[in-house]
């Protein structure tokens, strides 16, 4: 090739184009994965937006660094390689270069630190006084949500109003779990014997829930420990709190009444609370007072519908491996009564 000027130019331009295409392909792959249900790229709270902004700056800087290093590596490898009539070029020590490539990373780290520290300080401030208070309790393998000021308890489906701060106290009944709603807030550990706190202000109400997940390995069914966050206009939220704080709707049909009797006879009452049914005051499992209004069961592993409720009662471990509700070997007759009863708990 004679190391001609045009040969060198071709190597440099070719390397830059190849590296640009590679960088672009990686960027597009990331951008394409952004629009998934547990994305952190599309924030829906003030705090998640701060995290996303810091993340984007780091992501773009990382792209620039990736492009520069890959391009230079490729160019140098091709230009200064050993071949007939040319020995590989070796350098030993170059103070100017070393100062420059130490300073550049320092500047990059400083640029990343500014939005990072500002997001940390914003999110670790005390929540506003009018924040909605929620206590979230991790259990193997489901989430309990209590609203102490509203006198209500629910499971696996957290409802919050849009535009108002939500202050969450995190606890655990057994092992360490982690509360994570990628588009809204998290990940903060839920520890036994220690309270953690986080707060967030949802900015986007929408009909479909935000998906959430325990983010700390907590045992066999960790991957099935999910929950949903419903962000609703204030009026809808108020209506939800009113109906959810109320006692269960008393069974009206004969079959549902028989179901309530079965619920006591099968020992369900020892583990589950149903407000309005004095016998049912257990706290081992989820509060079922308004179970019929929830969209999923088993902490979000399946939709709540008569077939799935029946499957769950017949063999909980079949629906959710490791589930801590025992298989009670219920008869078909008991299932026939329990399903309509549970469905009617609106």
In angstroms, the CA 87 to CA 48 distance is 54
| CA angle (237, 241, 246) in 5-degree steps | 155
Q: Which residue in 267, 276, 306, 321 binds ligand HEC (CB under 6 A)?
A: 267
- Within 10 Å of residue 9's Cβ, how many Cβ atoms? 10
Closest CA to 271 of 221, 317, 323: 323
For every residue of 13-65, which 3-state class applies, written as one string? Answer: HHHHHHHHHHHHHHHHHHHHCCCCCCCCCCCCEHHHHHHHHHHHHHHHHHHHH
Q: Which residue in 159, 222, 294, 337 binds Cu ion (CB under 5 A)?
A: 222
Our finding on whether 214 is near Cu ion (CB under 5 A) is yes
In angstroms, the CA 249 to CA 203 distance is 33
Our finding on whether 241 is near ligand HEC (CB under 6 A) is no
Q: Which does 297 bind (CB under 5 to 8 A by kind): ligand HEC, Cu ion, none?
A: ligand HEC
Contact between 313 and 330 under an 8 Å Cβ cutoff? The reply is yes
Provide, rounded to whole angstroms, the least separation between the CB of residue 255 and ligand HEC. 14
Contact between 156 and 168 under an 8 Å Cβ cutoff? The reply is no
Our finding on whether 46 is near Cu ion (CB under 5 A) is no
Our finding on whether 291 is near ligand HEC (CB under 6 A) is yes
Cβ closest to Cu ion, residue 164 vs residue 187? 187
Cβ closest to ligand HEC, residue 182 vs residue 285? 285
| CA angle (340, 141, 39) in 5-degree steps | 100
Cβ closest to ligand HEC, residue 203 vs residue 305? 305
Provide, rounded to whole angstroms, the least separation between the CB of residue 188 and Cu ion. 13
- Within 10 Å of residue 318's Cβ, how many Cβ atoms? 11
Provide, rounded to whole angstroms, the least separation between the CB of residue 138 and Cu ion. 7
Encoded one letter per residue, x for contact with ligand HEC by CB under 6 A and - for no contact, window 132-171 reads ---------xx------------xx---------------
What are the residues binding ligand HEC (CB under 6 A)? 141-142, 155-156, 263, 266-268, 270-272, 284-286, 288, 291, 294, 297-299, 312-313, 320, 323-326, 328, 330, 338, 342
What are the residues binding Cu ion (CB under 5 A)? 177, 214, 218, 222, 225
């Amino acid at each position: 090739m004679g190391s001609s000027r045009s040969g060198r130019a071709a190597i440099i331009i070719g390397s830059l184009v190849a590296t640009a295409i590679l960088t672009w392909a990686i960027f597009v792959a990331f951008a394409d994965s952004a629009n998934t249900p547990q994305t952190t790229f599309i924030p829906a709270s003030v705090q998640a937006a701060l995290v996303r902004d810091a993340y984007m700056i780091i992501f773009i800087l990382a792209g620039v660094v990736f492009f520069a290093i890959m391009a230079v590596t490729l160019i140098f490898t091709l230009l200064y390689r050993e071949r007939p009539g040319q020995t590989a070029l070796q350098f030993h020590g170059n103070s100017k270069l070393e100062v420059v490539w130490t300073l550049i990373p320092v500047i990059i780290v400083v640029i990343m630190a500014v939005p990072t520290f500002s997001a940390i300080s914003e999110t670790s401030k005390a929540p506003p006084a009018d924040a909605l208070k929620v206590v979230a309790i991790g259990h193997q393998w489901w989430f309990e949500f209590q609203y102490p000021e509203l006198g209500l308890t629910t499971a696996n489906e957290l409802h919050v109003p849009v535009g108002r701060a939500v202050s969450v106290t995190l606890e655990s009944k057994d092992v360490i779990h982690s509360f994570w709603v990628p588009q809204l807030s998290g990940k903060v550990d839920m520890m036994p014997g220690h309270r953690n706190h986080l707060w967030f202000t949802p900015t986007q109400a929408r009909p479909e829930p935000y998906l959430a997940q325990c983010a700390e390995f907590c045992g066999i069914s960790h991957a099935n420990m999910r929950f949903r966050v419903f962000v609703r206009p204030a009026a809808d939220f108020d209506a939800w709190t009113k109906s959810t704080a109320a006692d269960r709707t008393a069974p009206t049909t004969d079959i549902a009444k028989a179901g309530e009797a079965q619920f006591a006879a099968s020992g369900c009452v020892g583990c589950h609370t149903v407000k309005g049914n004095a016998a049912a005051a257990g706290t081992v499992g989820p509060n079922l007072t308004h179970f019929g209004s929830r969209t999923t069961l088993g902490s979000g592993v399946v939709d709540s519908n008569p077939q799935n409720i029946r499957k769950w009662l017949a063999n909980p471990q079949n629906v959710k491996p490791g589930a801590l509700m025992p298989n009670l070997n219920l008869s078909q007759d008991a299932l026939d009564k329990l399903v309509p009863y549970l469905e009617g708990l609106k």
